[in-house]
Amino acid sequence: MQDGMRDGGDRVELRRLPRVMGGLEVLRADFRRSSFAPHFHDDYTVGLITRGANRFRYRRQRVVAPLGTLCLADPGEVHTGDVQEGGWSYWSVHIPPSALAALAAELDGPGDTAPDFATGVIDDAEAVRRFAAFFQALHAAAPALAVEVRAVEALAHLIGRHAAHHPARPPAAGDAALARRARDLLAARAAEPVSLAELEAATGAGRYRLIRAFRAAYGMPPCAWQTQRRLITARALIGAGQPIADAAAATGFADQAHLTRLFKRSFGYTPGAFLRVWGMAAPSS
């Protein structure tokens, strides 16, 4: 669900992801006029600065999150927000403490304590890259599985690198077998949406361990593997003479344009060019 709002020179877009990690809220904002009085949130808040700099007070200190960094607030921590020198823009995500505690337990062993972050500004290129991938997947209307995988990977990195007492856990025995079980489910339901919850139920593994094991076994996350399986199947259908639009529908793509874009990105040529190489006339170009 998405809602866009404009107030003066500010623009705000709010999205709710009720099925991702217990319910996430994502905000895309361009603040040019508004400043924020001291306040706090019940959830964790992580923001990726995309323009300007976010200047705010956090834990009794004045801090600055410039372009290309993350700003962060733990639940219940009072903070402000000041607009100066043209303001600032960012993507932010609100994460329920229970969801982050569950992910931290996967990384650091059993427990129900939510992680603690000591600083309100994080300058970590890899963390920025992962959060940018999550927000970009959401902006591009990527499949729900892809969005959730990006969210889990970004938050797991944040916990593993920046939370107190949460070092990353080494790979566990049996990871290759659980990766195969996840792959088999994705292959059997290649044309259907598959959630991380379903993969967890099929493998008996937590989502972070599952994604890490899958990447180790197949070189990509589950969502990307499923997309490649769809593309390979679509290519075979098109090569057998099925109209491109029909092949797109049969393999789970939103439409012909969606298939064409990903087909070219993976194979270097469009479905129409593929047909021409095979000496056929495309039923739908």
More confident residue, 277 or 240: 240
Domain count, the chain: 3
pLDDT category of residue 50 using cuts at 50, 70 and 90: very high
Contact predicate 27/14, CB 8 Å: yes
Domain-located, residue 283: no
Per-residue model confidence (pLDDT) at position 282: 46
143 and 23 within one domain: yes
61 and 101 within one domain: yes
Per-residue model confidence (pLDDT) at position 188: 94
State phi, psi for 203 to the nearest 5 degrees: -105, -20
Counted residue by residue, the chain has a size of 285
Three-state SS at 106 = helix
CATH number of residue 68's parent domain: 2.60.120.10
Domain-located, residue 167: no
SS3 annotation, 20-79: CCCCEEEEEEEECCCCEEEECCCCEEEEEEEEEEEEEEECCEEEEEECCCEEEECCCCCE
Residue-averaged pLDDT of the chain: 86
- State the amino acid at position 130 in one-letter form: R
Q: Give the highest mean pLDDT range of 102-106, 113-117, 128-132.
A: 128-132
Rounded-to-integer distance, Cα 264 and Cα 270, Å: 5
Q: What are the pLDDT digits (tens) for 190-214?
A: 999 999 999 999 999 999 899 999 9
115 and 58 within one domain: yes
Rounded-to-integer distance, Cα 236 and Cα 221, Å: 23
Report the run of H or E that residue 89 belongs to, with start and end. strand 88-95
CATH number of residue 273's parent domain: 1.10.10.60
Domain-located, residue 140: yes
143 and 80 within one domain: yes
265 and 139 within one domain: no
Contact predicate 89/135, CB 8 Å: no
Domain-located, residue 225: no
Q: What are the pLDDT digits (tens) for 8-24?
A: 577 888 888 988 998 89
Per-residue model confidence (pLDDT) at position 158: 96
Per-residue model confidence (pLDDT) at position 175: 87
